[in-house]
Amino acid sequence: MSKNTTVKNPMKVITGEDTRWSYANVWEPKSINGGTPKYSVSLIIPKSDTKTVAKIKAAIEAAYAEGESKLKGNSKSVPPLASIKTPLRDGDVERPDDPAYANAYFINANSATAPGIVDVDLNPVLTRSEVYSGVYGRASITLYAFNSNGNRGIACGLNNLQLIRAGEPLGGKASAESDFSTDADEDFLN
């Protein structure tokens, strides 16, 4: 038996370091439309990160192949991949008015269990304020087929997150640094 016995999961992807996190609900699970509360994050992947995009597309195809029987369900045939919902979306098409999604793809990942969150040195991130919508980091995700109440497609599960660097907060909230970075405040002594 060889020393390297790890089996690579073709449906698991680690995103690149320039992936930006948006709608980061990673500390507390949140219910969407009354559903089961889940941890979630929208991963914004620059179109220039062709390596990550290619890995996600390959993982979608692997999840499709692995989940054919689930996707078929009670139908006579498996629907073509092009006709089912897939999680990799084009920010320029679906979010044209949001500059954070310009020239990028995005994928929404979620999980019923809390993701592990580490920093660049693989130390656990314990300070909640370090993780917010707008930071950059890598994400471990797994793609899988689903067939629920007539909805069929490929979904994205959230495994773990690695915080790489701070970024401008998304959602219009200014950082404390930017609010207080000017030397002269006209209202200060008036």
Where are the domains positioned within the chain? 12-170
- Rounded Cα distance between 163 and 84, Å, is 32
Q: What is the pLDDT of residue 190?
A: 46
Question: Encoding tokens for residue 115?
Answer: 């993701």
Domain boundaries 12-170, corresponding CATH code: 2.40.50.140
pLDDT band at 122 (very low <50, low <70, confident <90, very high): very high
Q: What is the pLDDT of residue 63?
A: 96
Give the mean model confidence (pLDDT) for residues 87-108: 96
Which residues fall within 8 angstroms of residue 97, CB to CB, at 6 or more apart? none
- Does the pLDDT value for residue 16 go beyond 60? yes
Give the mean model confidence (pLDDT) for residues 95-122: 96
Give the mean model confidence (pLDDT) for residues 110-132: 96
Question: Encoding tokens for residue 75?
Answer: 């139908």
Length of the chain: 190
pLDDT band at 1 (very low <50, low <70, confident <90, very high): very low
Phi–psi pair at 57, nearest 5 degrees: -60, -40
The dihedral sign for the CA sequence 180, 183, 187, 190: positive
Condensed to tens digits (0 to 9), the pLDDT of residues 128-174 reads: 999 999 999 999 999 999 998 878 999 999 999 999 999 999 876 55
Q: What is the pLDDT of residue 35?
A: 86
User: Which residue, 16, 63, 83, is CA-closest to 43?
Assistant: 16
Question: Encoding tokens for residue 152?
Answer: 């069929």
Condensed to tens digits (0 to 9), the pLDDT of residues 20-71 reads: 999 999 999 999 888 899 999 999 999 999 999 999 999 999 999 999 989 9
* pLDDT: which is higher, 98 or 173: 98
Q: What is the pLDDT of residue 188?
A: 47
- DSSP assignment of 70-134 equals HHHTTSSSPPPGGGSB-S-EEHHHH-TT-GGGTTEEEEEEEESSPPEEE-TTSPBP--GGGS-TT
Provide the mean pLDDT of the chain: 89
